[in-house]
Amino acid sequence: MDTYSHGGIPNKSGRDPVLKDAKVLFIVGGPGSGKGTQCAKIVEKFGFCHLSSGDLLREEVASGSERGAKLKDVMARGELVSMDDVLQLMCDAMKKKISETKCFLIDGYPRELEQGTRFEKEIVPCVGVLYFDVSDETMTSRLLKRGETSGRVDDNEETIKKRLQTFHNQTKPVIDYYSQQDKVCKIPAEGSEKDIFAEVEKYVSSHKW
């Protein structure tokens, strides 16, 4: 029986055969912790494929679809969108790129524990987790600065507060879970982009890709 009938995500146990050899680094951190910024640098240096869950969701919103309109409302509230939506978008995006790269930076995902366990069960286990550790004050000031020009529905003071709460309540358990498996590399990320990348580079270079 075909267990991959939902657009590639297995509906029973077992993994998607197309992605079973993919190598994956989860990139986590609070809103504005520098995930996207550092991923761009990793891509430049190591040629990995960067997939940001936030970007995939914003693309869906921009497409004008009915699903996109619902996603926009959830994002504007600073809440997490449905796990099925984000996992499906991620799986489809990985399949488009698997022939070009075997190393994926999965940015902004998992944001809640079940996102991680489902991804690993249905797609592939992660190699490790890069966690950008930044204070709420720094994240807030970075996002308010970005909000001056980004036009994003979530880069405003009220939504940023909610996004930080969501991060502490829902994403911190992800970090605890993978720390117990010794898979987390915690990067202090208050400093300059260049100094932070020096630490990122050490970690990425320490693996065989």
Q: Give min distance, CB of 26 to ligand B4P, in A.
A: 10
Pick 150 or 205: Cβ nearer ligand B4P: 150
Q: Give min distance, CB of 144 to ligand B4P, in A.
A: 10
> Are 33 and 132 in contact, with CB atoms under 8 Å apart?
yes
CB atoms within 10 A of CB 51: 22
Pick 16 or 60: Cβ nearer ligand B4P: 60
Instruction: Identify the CA nearest to 172 among candidates 42, 20, 43, 29.
Output: 29
Round the CA-based radius of gyration of the chain to a whole number and report it. 17
Pick 95 or 118: Cβ nearer ligand B4P: 118
Classify residue 152 by its DSSP letter. Answer: -
Q: How far is Cα 27 from Cα 50, in angstroms, rounded to an integer?
A: 10
User: Which is it for the CA torsion 196, 197, 202, 204, positive or negative?
Assistant: positive
Residues in touch with ligand B4P (CB under 6 A):
31-37, 52-54, 57, 74-75, 78-81, 86, 108-109, 111, 115, 142, 146, 154, 163, 192-193, 196
Q: Give min distance, CB of 202 to ligand B4P, in A.
A: 17
Q: Give min distance, CB of 17 to ligand B4P, in A.
A: 24
